[in-house]
Structure 1
Protein backbone atom coordinates (compact mmCIF):
# COMPACT_ATOMS: atom_id res chain seq x y z
CA UNK A 1 0.00 0.00 0.00
CA UNK A 2 1.39 3.37 -1.01
CA UNK A 3 1.19 5.97 1.73
CA UNK A 4 3.83 8.45 0.58
CA UNK A 5 1.88 11.39 -0.85
CA UNK A 6 3.53 14.29 -2.64
CA UNK A 7 1.47 17.31 -3.69
CA UNK A 8 3.43 19.73 -5.87
CA UNK A 9 3.25 22.04 -8.88
CA UNK A 10 3.10 20.17 -12.17
CA UNK A 11 6.27 20.14 -14.25
CA UNK A 12 6.39 20.00 -18.06
CA UNK A 13 7.56 16.38 -17.82
CA UNK A 14 4.26 15.55 -16.03
CA UNK A 15 2.01 16.66 -18.92
CA UNK A 16 1.70 13.28 -20.73
CA UNK A 17 0.82 11.55 -17.44
CA UNK A 18 -1.66 14.33 -16.56
CA UNK A 19 -3.41 13.90 -19.91
CA UNK A 20 -3.59 10.12 -19.46
CA UNK A 21 -4.89 10.55 -15.90
CA UNK A 22 -7.69 12.80 -17.16
CA UNK A 23 -8.59 10.23 -19.84
CA UNK A 24 -8.79 7.48 -17.21
CA UNK A 25 -10.62 9.56 -14.60
CA UNK A 26 -13.29 10.79 -17.02
CA UNK A 27 -13.46 7.84 -19.41
CA UNK A 28 -12.72 9.85 -22.53
CA UNK A 29 -10.55 12.48 -24.14
CA UNK A 30 -12.57 15.70 -23.51
CA UNK A 31 -10.90 16.67 -20.22
CA UNK A 32 -7.42 15.87 -21.55
CA UNK A 33 -8.14 18.16 -24.50
CA UNK A 34 -9.38 20.80 -22.07
CA UNK A 35 -6.14 20.59 -20.06
CA UNK A 36 -4.05 20.93 -23.22
CA UNK A 37 -6.08 23.92 -24.41
CA UNK A 38 -5.94 25.71 -21.04
CA UNK A 39 -2.20 25.20 -20.64
CA UNK A 40 -1.61 26.57 -24.15
CA UNK A 41 -3.90 29.62 -23.75
CA UNK A 42 -2.26 32.79 -22.35
CA UNK A 43 -5.74 34.16 -21.54
CA UNK A 44 -6.26 31.21 -19.18
CA UNK A 45 -2.99 32.07 -17.45
CA UNK A 46 -3.19 28.89 -15.38
CA UNK A 47 -2.85 30.04 -11.79
CA UNK A 48 -2.57 26.65 -10.12
CA UNK A 49 -1.47 23.42 -11.79
CA UNK A 50 -1.01 20.80 -9.07
CA UNK A 51 -0.27 17.10 -9.19
CA UNK A 52 -0.58 14.49 -6.48
CA UNK A 53 1.73 11.50 -6.45
CA UNK A 54 1.46 8.38 -4.30
CA UNK A 55 4.94 6.98 -4.33
CA UNK A 56 6.14 7.72 -7.83
CA UNK A 57 2.72 7.25 -9.50
CA UNK A 58 0.58 10.22 -10.54
CA UNK A 59 -2.81 9.82 -8.86
CA UNK A 60 -4.37 13.29 -9.07
CA UNK A 61 -4.33 16.64 -10.85
CA UNK A 62 -6.14 19.97 -10.50
CA UNK A 63 -6.00 23.09 -12.63
CA UNK A 64 -7.18 26.62 -11.79
CA UNK A 65 -7.44 29.14 -14.61
CA UNK A 66 -8.14 32.85 -14.75
CA UNK A 67 -11.69 34.15 -14.98
CA UNK A 68 -13.51 37.49 -14.82
CA UNK A 69 -16.96 39.04 -14.63
CA UNK A 70 -18.43 40.11 -17.96
CA UNK A 71 -18.43 43.88 -18.35
CA UNK A 72 -16.73 44.56 -14.99
CA UNK A 73 -13.39 46.24 -15.63
CA UNK A 74 -12.28 46.38 -12.01
CA UNK A 75 -13.92 43.21 -10.72
CA UNK A 76 -12.72 40.59 -8.29
CA UNK A 77 -9.83 38.26 -9.00
CA UNK A 78 -11.49 34.96 -9.73
CA UNK A 79 -10.56 31.49 -10.91
CA UNK A 80 -12.10 28.45 -12.55
CA UNK A 81 -11.42 25.00 -11.17
CA UNK A 82 -11.38 22.62 -14.14
CA UNK A 83 -10.63 19.86 -14.32
CA UNK A 84 -10.02 17.92 -11.12
CA UNK A 85 -8.93 14.36 -11.89
CA UNK A 86 -8.22 11.46 -9.54
CA UNK A 87 -7.22 8.02 -10.78
CA UNK A 88 -10.32 5.77 -10.78
CA UNK A 89 -8.65 3.27 -8.42
CA UNK A 90 -8.06 6.05 -5.87
CA UNK A 91 -11.37 7.93 -6.02
CA UNK A 92 -13.30 8.21 -2.77
CA UNK A 93 -10.16 8.24 -0.61
CA UNK A 94 -9.78 11.99 0.02
CA UNK A 95 -7.28 12.73 -2.75
CA UNK A 96 -9.72 15.00 -4.62
CA UNK A 97 -10.47 16.92 -1.45
CA UNK A 98 -6.75 17.29 -0.73
CA UNK A 99 -6.13 18.67 -4.23
CA UNK A 100 -9.14 20.99 -4.05
CA UNK A 101 -8.17 22.41 -0.64
CA UNK A 102 -4.53 22.87 -1.69
CA UNK A 103 -5.56 24.67 -4.90
CA UNK A 104 -7.94 26.90 -2.93
CA UNK A 105 -5.23 27.77 -0.41
CA UNK A 106 -2.84 28.69 -3.21
CA UNK A 107 -5.51 30.81 -4.93
CA UNK A 108 -6.21 32.63 -1.66
CA UNK A 109 -2.50 33.38 -1.31
CA UNK A 110 -2.68 34.94 -4.81
CA UNK A 111 -5.51 37.21 -3.60
CA UNK A 112 -8.16 35.41 -5.62
CA UNK A 113 -11.66 36.26 -4.35
CA UNK A 114 -13.79 33.48 -5.82
CA UNK A 115 -13.38 30.09 -7.49
CA UNK A 116 -16.08 28.82 -9.86
CA UNK A 117 -16.70 25.35 -11.24
CA UNK A 118 -19.14 22.96 -12.80
CA UNK A 119 -18.96 19.87 -10.66
CA UNK A 120 -20.64 17.11 -8.74
CA UNK A 121 -23.06 18.63 -6.19
CA UNK A 122 -22.42 15.69 -3.86
CA UNK A 123 -18.66 16.26 -3.74
CA UNK A 124 -17.77 19.95 -3.97
CA UNK A 125 -19.82 21.23 -0.98
CA UNK A 126 -17.43 19.13 1.17
CA UNK A 127 -14.70 21.45 -0.13
CA UNK A 128 -16.50 24.71 0.69
CA UNK A 129 -18.46 25.24 -2.54
CA UNK A 130 -22.04 26.52 -2.64
CA UNK A 131 -24.50 26.98 -5.50
CA UNK A 132 -23.49 30.06 -7.53
CA UNK A 133 -26.86 31.04 -9.05
CA UNK A 134 -28.46 32.14 -5.74
CA UNK A 135 -25.57 34.61 -5.38
CA UNK A 136 -26.35 36.17 -8.75
CA UNK A 137 -23.65 34.49 -10.83
CA UNK A 138 -24.49 33.13 -14.27
CA UNK A 139 -22.55 30.84 -16.58
CA UNK A 140 -20.99 31.73 -19.95
CA UNK A 141 -23.80 29.78 -21.69
CA UNK A 142 -27.30 28.92 -20.44
CA UNK A 143 -27.44 25.70 -18.46
CA UNK A 144 -30.06 22.99 -18.80
CA UNK A 145 -32.18 22.86 -15.64
CA UNK A 146 -30.77 19.48 -14.60
CA UNK A 147 -27.20 20.90 -14.68
CA UNK A 148 -27.85 23.99 -12.57
CA UNK A 149 -26.95 22.37 -9.20
CA UNK A 150 -23.45 21.72 -10.61
CA UNK A 151 -22.75 25.48 -11.04
CA UNK A 152 -20.84 26.34 -7.83
CA UNK A 153 -18.60 28.93 -6.25
CA UNK A 154 -16.23 29.10 -3.29
CA UNK A 155 -15.58 32.39 -1.55
CA UNK A 156 -11.92 32.97 -0.71
CA UNK A 157 -12.11 36.64 0.33
CA UNK A 158 -14.76 37.41 2.94
CA UNK A 159 -17.65 39.40 1.49
CA UNK A 160 -16.92 38.61 -2.18
CA UNK A 161 -20.15 36.63 -2.59
CA UNK A 162 -22.28 39.51 -1.35
CA UNK A 163 -20.33 42.24 -3.15
CA UNK A 164 -20.15 40.80 -6.68
CA UNK A 165 -22.51 39.15 -9.15
CA UNK A 166 -22.90 38.79 -12.91
CA UNK A 167 -21.99 36.61 -15.84
CA UNK A 168 -18.75 34.75 -15.16
CA UNK A 169 -16.38 34.43 -18.10
CA UNK A 170 -13.42 32.17 -18.71
CA UNK A 171 -10.73 31.33 -21.20
CA UNK A 172 -12.04 30.14 -24.57
CA UNK A 173 -11.61 26.43 -23.78
CA UNK A 174 -13.83 26.68 -20.71
CA UNK A 175 -16.50 28.43 -22.76
CA UNK A 176 -16.84 25.67 -25.36
CA UNK A 177 -20.66 25.37 -25.70
CA UNK A 178 -20.52 21.57 -25.41
CA UNK A 179 -19.25 21.94 -21.84
CA UNK A 180 -22.46 23.80 -20.99
CA UNK A 181 -24.98 21.45 -22.55
CA UNK A 182 -24.99 23.25 -25.92
Structure 2
Protein backbone atom coordinates (compact mmCIF):
# COMPACT_ATOMS: atom_id res chain seq x y z
CA UNK A 1 0.00 0.00 0.00
CA UNK A 2 1.24 3.49 -0.82
CA UNK A 3 0.84 6.52 1.42
CA UNK A 4 1.85 10.14 1.00
CA UNK A 5 2.48 12.56 3.83
CA UNK A 6 4.26 15.83 4.49
CA UNK A 7 7.97 15.34 5.10
CA UNK A 8 9.18 16.15 8.60
CA UNK A 9 12.57 17.53 9.64
CA UNK A 10 13.30 14.06 11.03
CA UNK A 11 12.82 12.61 7.51
CA UNK A 12 15.86 14.39 6.07
CA UNK A 13 17.97 11.21 5.85
CA UNK A 14 15.19 9.39 3.96
CA UNK A 15 14.75 12.36 1.61
CA UNK A 16 18.48 12.47 0.84
CA UNK A 17 18.62 8.70 0.24
CA UNK A 18 15.76 9.00 -2.26
CA UNK A 19 17.45 11.91 -4.06
CA UNK A 20 20.77 10.04 -4.30
CA UNK A 21 19.09 6.87 -5.56
CA UNK A 22 16.96 8.69 -8.13
CA UNK A 23 19.67 10.96 -9.53
CA UNK A 24 22.71 8.73 -9.00
CA UNK A 25 24.84 11.36 -7.25
CA UNK A 26 25.07 13.66 -4.26
CA UNK A 27 24.50 16.82 -6.32
CA UNK A 28 20.70 16.83 -6.22
CA UNK A 29 20.67 15.58 -2.62
CA UNK A 30 22.86 18.46 -1.49
CA UNK A 31 20.68 20.96 -3.36
CA UNK A 32 17.63 19.56 -1.56
CA UNK A 33 19.44 19.64 1.79
CA UNK A 34 20.21 23.31 1.18
CA UNK A 35 16.61 24.14 0.27
CA UNK A 36 15.17 22.28 3.25
CA UNK A 37 17.57 23.76 5.79
CA UNK A 38 17.69 27.36 4.53
CA UNK A 39 14.87 29.47 6.01
CA UNK A 40 15.11 31.93 3.10
CA UNK A 41 14.26 29.15 0.60
CA UNK A 42 10.84 28.77 2.24
CA UNK A 43 9.77 25.32 1.04
CA UNK A 44 6.01 25.42 0.63
CA UNK A 45 5.40 21.70 0.35
CA UNK A 46 7.72 18.75 0.87
CA UNK A 47 6.07 15.34 0.52
CA UNK A 48 7.25 11.77 0.97
CA UNK A 49 5.71 8.69 -0.62
CA UNK A 50 5.92 5.39 1.25
CA UNK A 51 5.34 1.92 -0.10
CA UNK A 52 4.95 -0.66 2.66
CA UNK A 53 6.63 1.71 5.16
CA UNK A 54 9.65 2.31 2.89
CA UNK A 55 10.28 5.87 1.73
CA UNK A 56 10.34 5.64 -2.09
CA UNK A 57 9.54 9.13 -3.42
CA UNK A 58 9.95 12.80 -2.62
CA UNK A 59 8.69 16.04 -4.14
CA UNK A 60 9.57 19.60 -3.19
CA UNK A 61 7.78 22.83 -4.05
CA UNK A 62 9.51 26.09 -3.08
CA UNK A 63 8.18 29.63 -3.02
CA UNK A 64 9.14 32.08 -5.75
CA UNK A 65 8.24 35.60 -6.83
CA UNK A 66 7.33 37.10 -10.20
CA UNK A 67 9.38 40.16 -11.08
CA UNK A 68 7.94 43.28 -12.71
CA UNK A 69 4.34 42.67 -11.78
CA UNK A 70 1.95 45.15 -10.17
CA UNK A 71 0.24 42.53 -8.07
CA UNK A 72 1.67 39.95 -5.72
CA UNK A 73 1.03 36.48 -7.12
CA UNK A 74 1.80 33.38 -5.05
CA UNK A 75 3.84 30.97 -7.17
CA UNK A 76 5.86 27.82 -6.55
CA UNK A 77 8.60 25.90 -8.28
CA UNK A 78 8.45 22.11 -8.44
CA UNK A 79 11.97 20.77 -8.09
CA UNK A 80 12.92 18.10 -7.63
CA UNK A 81 10.65 15.12 -8.04
CA UNK A 82 12.56 11.95 -7.14
CA UNK A 83 11.48 8.32 -7.10
CA UNK A 84 13.74 5.41 -6.12
CA UNK A 85 14.48 3.62 -9.44
CA UNK A 86 12.95 0.28 -8.39
CA UNK A 87 9.64 2.10 -7.80
CA UNK A 88 9.55 4.27 -10.93
CA UNK A 89 6.83 3.86 -13.56
CA UNK A 90 4.25 2.89 -10.93
CA UNK A 91 2.39 6.21 -10.74
CA UNK A 92 4.08 7.39 -7.55
CA UNK A 93 5.45 10.56 -9.14
CA UNK A 94 2.04 11.49 -10.50
CA UNK A 95 0.42 10.96 -7.12
CA UNK A 96 3.05 13.15 -5.46
CA UNK A 97 2.47 15.87 -8.06
CA UNK A 98 -1.31 15.81 -7.67
CA UNK A 99 -1.16 15.79 -3.86
CA UNK A 100 1.29 18.68 -3.91
CA UNK A 101 -0.79 20.70 -6.36
CA UNK A 102 -3.90 20.21 -4.22
CA UNK A 103 -2.08 21.46 -1.11
CA UNK A 104 -0.68 24.45 -3.01
CA UNK A 105 -4.11 25.33 -4.37
CA UNK A 106 -5.56 25.30 -0.85
CA UNK A 107 -2.70 27.59 0.22
CA UNK A 108 -3.58 30.11 -2.50
CA UNK A 109 -0.72 29.40 -4.90
CA UNK A 110 -1.77 30.58 -8.35
CA UNK A 111 1.05 29.24 -10.56
CA UNK A 112 3.49 26.35 -10.40
CA UNK A 113 6.57 26.21 -12.62
CA UNK A 114 8.68 23.16 -13.41
CA UNK A 115 11.73 22.64 -15.57
CA UNK A 116 11.63 19.06 -16.69
CA UNK A 117 10.52 16.56 -19.27
CA UNK A 118 7.58 18.09 -21.19
CA UNK A 119 6.10 14.71 -22.13
CA UNK A 120 5.98 13.64 -18.49
CA UNK A 121 4.81 16.86 -16.87
CA UNK A 122 2.17 17.59 -19.54
CA UNK A 123 0.41 14.39 -18.41
CA UNK A 124 0.00 16.05 -15.02
CA UNK A 125 -1.48 19.36 -16.19
CA UNK A 126 1.65 21.37 -16.97
CA UNK A 127 2.05 23.29 -20.22
CA UNK A 128 4.87 25.39 -21.70
CA UNK A 129 4.84 28.89 -20.20
CA UNK A 130 5.07 30.58 -23.62
CA UNK A 131 1.47 29.51 -24.28
CA UNK A 132 0.35 31.92 -21.58
CA UNK A 133 2.32 34.93 -22.76
Q: Which TM-score applies when normalising by structure 1? A: 0.70
* TM-align CA RMSD: 1.2
CA distance in 1, matches of 2:124, 2:77: 14
CA distance in 2, matches of 1:35, 1:133: 28
1:74–1:42 CA distance, 2 compared to 1 (3 A): farther
* C-alpha contact (below 8 Å) 1:66/1:79 kept by paired residues: yes
Shift of 1:73: 5.7
1:17 has 2:6 as partner: no
How many residue pairs get aligned? The number is 133
Instruction: Show structure 1 runs of 5+ residues with no match.
Output: 137-182
Equivalent residue for 1:76?
A: 73
1:103 has 2:121 as partner: no
Equivalent residue for 1:51?
A: 48
1:128 has 2:125 as partner: yes
Residues 28-67 of structure 1, C-alpha deviation per residue, up to 9 Å, x if partnerless? 1221111111112222211101000011110100011001
Deviates more, 1:73-82 or 1:90-99: 73-82
Q: Which has the higher helix share?
A: 2
1:60 has 2:57 as partner: yes
* C-alpha contact (below 8 Å) 1:66/1:80 kept by paired residues: yes
Residues 126-165 of structure 1, C-alpha deviation per residue, up to 9 Å, x if partnerless? 11000013323xxxxxxxxxxxxxxxxxxxxxxxxxxxxx
* C-alpha contact (below 8 Å) 1:8/1:52 kept by paired residues: yes
Instruction: Show structure 2 runs of 5+ residues with no match.
Output: none
Q: Which has the larger radius of gyration?
A: 1
Q: Name the SS for the 1:112 alignment partner.
A: coil
| 1:89 alignment partner, one of 86, 90, 93 | 86
CA distance in 2, matches of 1:32, 1:91: 18
Shift of 1:70: 1.4
Residues 102-133 of structure 1, C-alpha deviation per residue, up to 9 Å, x if partnerless? 00000000000000011111210111000013
Q: Name the SS for the 1:69 alignment partner.
A: coil
Q: Which TM-score applies when normalising by structure 2? A: 0.94
